[in-house]
Amino acid sequence: MSNITTADVDLEFHHYPLTLYDIIYICMNYHLINKENFTSFSLAKEVMNCHYRHIIGLVPLTKTTHELAHSGNLFLSSKQIFGDYSKFINEYAAGVTPELKQKIDLMEQMSEANVPTDFKRLIQ
C-alpha cells in the first residue's frame, strides 16, 4: 500500500512464509529427529536467536492487511520478505516436513509468476 507512512498507521510483523507455529514445530521436530534434549524455554530462546540472526521471514503489514494475509486473501511475494528464510530452512532441513516444503515452493512459484498481492481483488 503505497503513500502510507508509519505516521498514518501502526505496523505489525507477519511471520512468512512460515508461521510462528511452523517455526517452532520445525525446531522441535529437528531436535526430536536428532535425539537432542530441549525444553519449551530452550525452544523459545532458539527461535528468538533465529529472529536476531534474521533467518526468520517477516513482512511488515498494517492491521487490516495482516488480517487479510492470515485469512488467505492476500498474497505476499518472496520479494516482500525481510529475513533469509531459506537459510533457516537449510539449517533445520531435517525438521521441515514435505507439506511445509510444498507450502514454500508454492509461494516461490507464485512470486516468480508475479501473482499480484491483491489476487482476489478485495482492495480497490
Is there a domain that residue 119 lies in? Answer: no
- Is 1 inside a domain boundary? no
Q: Is residue 118 part of a domain?
A: no
74 CB-near residues (< 8 Å, 6+ apart):
65, 68, 117, 118, 120, 122
CA dihedral 89, 92, 101, 49 (to 10 degrees): -50
Number of domains in the chain: 1
30 in any annotated domain: yes
Mean of pLDDT values over 23-44: 98
Render pLDDT for 20-31 as a digit per residue (tens, 0 to 9): 999 999 999 999
Whether 71 is in a domain gets the answer: yes
Query: Does 105 reside within a domain?
Result: yes
Give pLDDT tens digits for 59-94.
999 888 899 888 888 899 999 999 999 999 999 999
Residue numbers of the domain that contains 36: 12-112
In a domain, residue 69? The reply is yes
Q: Give alpha helix (H) positions in the chain.
A: 20-33, 40-52, 63-70, 85-91, 98-112
